[in-house]
A and B are shown apart, each in its own frame.
Chain A
Amino acid sequence: MNDELYNELLEASWRRKLTAEEEAQLRAWLVAHPEAQADWDEEALLTQQLERVPNAPLASNFTAQVMGKLELDLAREEREQTRRPWSMWWRLAPRYVAVIAVAVLAGFGVVRHREHQRIVESVANVTPVASVLRPEILKDFDAIQQLRHVPAVSDAELLAALQ
Chain B
Amino acid sequence: MFGRLLDVMSDHIDIDAALMLRVREGDRDAFEALVDKYKQPVMNLVYRTLRDATEAEDLAQHVFLQVFKSAQRYEVTAKFSTWIFTIARNLCLNEIRRRSRHPADSMDAEFHGEEDHPARQIEDVTAFSPPDAVLQRELEQKIDDAVNALPEKQRTALLLCRQEEFSYEDIAKVLGCSVSATKSLIHRARETLKEQIKPYLKTGAWNAPES
Contacts and interface: CB of A to CB of B under 8 A. Distances in A.
B113 A57 contact: yes
A157 interface: no
Interface string A79-94: 0000000000000000
B193 A57 contact: no
A51 B147 CA distance: 12
Interface residues of A, number: 36
B190 A48 contact: no
Contact of A52 (B44, B116, B123, B168): B123
Contacts, number: 117
Interface string A53-94: 111111100110111011001000000000000000000000
Interface stretch (B12-20, B46-54, B93-101): B46-54
B140 A59 contact: no
A14 interface: yes
B201 interface: yes
A49 B144 CA distance: 9
Contacts of A47: 209
Given A40-B211, A63-B35, A70-B31, 14 more contacts: A11-B168, A15-B166, A15-B167, A26-B211, A41-B211, A46-B197, A49-B197, A52-B143, A53-B147, A56-B48, A56-B56, A57-B47, A62-B35, A63-B39
Q: Which 5 pairs from chain A and chain B are nearest by CB?
A: A56-B47, A57-B117, A41-B208, A54-B120, A57-B113
Interface of A: 11, 14-16, 23, 26-27, 30, 40-59, 62-63, 65-67, 69-70, 73
